[in-house]
Structure 1
Amino acid sequence: MSREHSNNFAKKHKDGTELDPKIKEAVLNRSKERELPCAVAFEITKELGVEAAEVGKTVDLLNFRLVKCQLGLFGYMPEKKIIKPQDTDNQDLKEAITNAAVDGRLPCKDAWNIASEFKLRKMTVSGVADAMGIKIKPCQLGAF
């Protein structure tokens, strides 16, 4: 059964914002029940050679919902987010998170880069950042 979509995500964008027809087609073909997982959105970016923000904008303008954030921050049921604060003794990891943070926020893209650099799961990095009191923002897809 489909979740009710109480939000009008299109309102995040200016009236008259145009959709890229290739991105729209890919989102329509890959979504289920008006939802598109984060990982699938990034597959579309690679396949079409477009920016993540463009895919996110298309999802919004279709009034679809992004789900299953790869950092565990949104789109999971029933709690919405699934990350848990995660302590670590890895001072290099903590330093990388602190250095990449801007005004107490770690950009999603930097969290991904840190995960890659340290060969960690993305949710591990978001959990450590959460334990450090650092929020992940902004999202590459524009979800937050």
Structure 2
Amino acid sequence: MSSIDDKLDFNLSDEQKRIVFENLDENKKLSCLKAFKVAKKIKVEAKDMSAITKSLGIKITDCELGVFGSLDFLAKDEEIYNRLKKSYKEQRIPCKNLWQEAKNSSLKIVGSTVKNSDIEVSYCQLGCFREKKGLKSGNQS
């Protein structure tokens, strides 16, 4: 998956690079959740994190909404699913809107609902993707 802004060039300080590298997991990847925290710590916009990590040879993993990675999820929450379908009336919902929805419950519950339904995520806040094309395999509404 290529990032939105592959062509951007970032000149991070040694301190900024140190912060990025000290937040990697045991597989030398940066989780979605930690990428947000790192962006804040190194004072860059979250949307630039995909391009920044790519320039450092690092992959972002474990999307909290289940688009990529290998997080474990719960069952779909029907109440949240119905609210999302009613509010957005579309199959694709921007990442930012789903994180906003999570403030009413939890990121785990919203992510589980997205992962186990026909809802698709668009416009990753970290810049990992704009649209996720195609149907998710194994999902049932």
2:101–2:110 Cα contact (<8 Å) kept = yes
In structure 1, the residue matched to 2:83 is 95
Point out 4+ residue stretches in structure 1 off by more than 4 angstroms: 9-12
**Distance apart, 1:21 and its partner CA:** 0.7
Q: TM-score, normalised by structure 2?
A: 0.69
**Distance apart, 1:58 and its partner CA:** 0.4
Alignment partner of 1:121 is 2:115:
no
Matches within 5 A, 1:1-144: 13-14=6-7, 17-22=8-13, 23-32=16-25, 33-76=27-70, 82-83=72-73, 86-88=76-78, 90=79, 94-100=82-88, 103-116=90-103, 118=104, 120-144=105-129
1:85–1:127 Cα contact (<8 Å) kept = yes
- Check 1:34–1:130 CA distance in 2 against 1; reply closer, same or farther (3 A cut): closer
Gaps of 5+ in 1: 1-6
Gaps of 5+ in 2: 130-141
Aligned residues: 126
Q: TM-score, normalised by structure 1?
A: 0.68
Highest relative contact order (Cα 8 Å, sep 6+), 1 or 2? 2
- Check 1:97–1:112 CA distance in 2 against 1; reply closer, same or farther (3 A cut): farther
RMSD after superposition: 3.0
1:21 aligned counterpart, secondary structure = coil
- Check 1:26–1:100 CA distance in 2 against 1; reply closer, same or farther (3 A cut): farther
**Distance apart, 1:31 and its partner CA:** 2.1
**Following the alignment from structure 1 to structure 2, what is the Cα–Cα distance between the partners of residues 54 and 11?**
9
